[in-house]
Amino acid sequence: SQKIEQNSEALNIQEGKTATLTCNYTNYSPAYLQWYRQDPGRGPVFLLLIRENEKEKRKERLKVTFDTTLKQSLFHITASQPADSATYLCALALNSGYALNFGKGTSLLVTP
Amino acid sequence: GAGVSQSPRYKVAKRGQDVALRCDPISGHVSLFWYQQALGQGPEFLTYFQNEAQLDKSGLPSDRFFAERPEGSVSTLKIQRTQQEDSAVYLCASSPAGAAAEQYFGPGTRLTVT
């Protein structure tokens, strides 16, 4: 069956460091992968989309890599700030190509 | 407002009651999705509309769940004879069109069945 796995443990890092979150998947051949941020009591917010023919994508302090051989995406936040504390969700398209299958998310806590 | 809105934000229902959850997508967005999110889990797909057509309802957990989008805009998710296991946050999302499009989520409706 199709599975998406994200770091199960919460990630605690110090302000200013780089946070790296992992998303591994099995039984998928995704055309693209998305990352979302979710704060408590709110819906997910879209951050980045990376396509299968893109190795890396950047947006401000965010960087995503996509390795279709390893079946893995890495999500980096450089120069992390306490405001980056949230849950980060990895998502792949379901068979329909439209709806998304989400991982459980990784909770990130950035301390001053 | 420019975002996706959902109402009510919180709903408490007694077991066996019917509930209706509303979603107002971003104006002009063709695609609309419903997801269910249990505590500590990622959102799980329930159903997908393209305009007024329900193209995929494979994620609906039982025939007690029903969704509609009659005019291709506002959508309602209805749950009949609610059970305790239906307690979750129900998220609505919309997107402009097509696959590989980012989805814009509403704040969700937290349903508690007692």
How high is the mean pLDDT in each 10-residue block of chain B (114 residues)? 92 98 96 96 96 95 97 97 98 86 95 98
CB count in 10 Å sphere of residue A98: 22
Tell me the β-bridge partners of A46: A36
- Which candidate, B109, B56, B54, B102, places its Cα nearest to that of B86? B109
**Residue A105 forms contact with B (CB below 8 Å):** yes
- The verdict on a CB contact (< 8 Å) between B33 and A94 is no
> What's the pLDDT score for residue A28?
84
For residue A11, which amino acid is it? Answer: L
Distance between A59 CA and the closest CA of chain B, angstroms: 15
**Residue A42 forms contact with B (CB below 8 Å):** yes
Structure tokens at A31: 């055309």
Q: Which chain B residues are within 8 Å of A104, Cβ to Cβ? A: 40-42
**Residue B43 forms contact with A (CB below 8 Å):** yes
Q: Is B71 exposed, middle or buried (0-12, 13-18, 19+ CB in 10 A)?
A: exposed
- The verdict on a CB contact (< 8 Å) between A42 and B56 is no
> What's the pLDDT score for residue B1?
55
Mean pLDDT of chain A: 93
Q: Are B37 and A79 in contact (CB under 8 A)?
A: no
> What's the pLDDT score for residue B89?
98
- Which candidate, A27, A43, A23, A19, places its Cα nearest to that of A35? A23
Interatomic CA distance for residues A60 and A68, integer angstroms: 24
Range of lowest pLDDT (A28-32, A54-58, A99-103, B59-63): A28-32
Q: Which chain A residues are within 8 Å of B108, Cβ to Cβ? A: 42-43
Distance between A104 CA and the closest CA of chain B, angstroms: 4
Q: Is the pLDDT of residue A8 over 70?
A: yes
End-to-end CA distance of chain A: 41
> What's the pLDDT score for residue A7?
84
Q: Is the pLDDT of residue A27 over 90?
A: no
Distance between A6 CA and the closest CA of chain B, angstroms: 10
Q: Which chain B residues are within 8 Å of A105, Cβ to Cβ? A: 41-42
A30 compared with B13, residue with greater pLDDT: B13
Structure tokens at B45: 């797909």
A2 band by pLDDT with thresholds 50, 70 and 90? confident
> What's the pLDDT score for residue B27?
94
- SS3 state of residue A62: strand
Interatomic CA distance for residues A91 and A103, integer angstroms: 6
> What's the pLDDT score for residue A13?
96
Interatomic CA distance for residues A52 and A32, integer angstroms: 5
Distance between B82 CA and the closest CA of chain A, angstroms: 22
**Residue B2 forms contact with A (CB below 8 Å):** no
Q: Is the pLDDT of residue A92 over 90?
A: yes
> What's the pLDDT score for residue B26?
96
Q: What angle do CA B96, B71, B79 make, to 5 degrees?
A: 95
Interatomic CA distance for residues B63 and B47, integer angstroms: 13
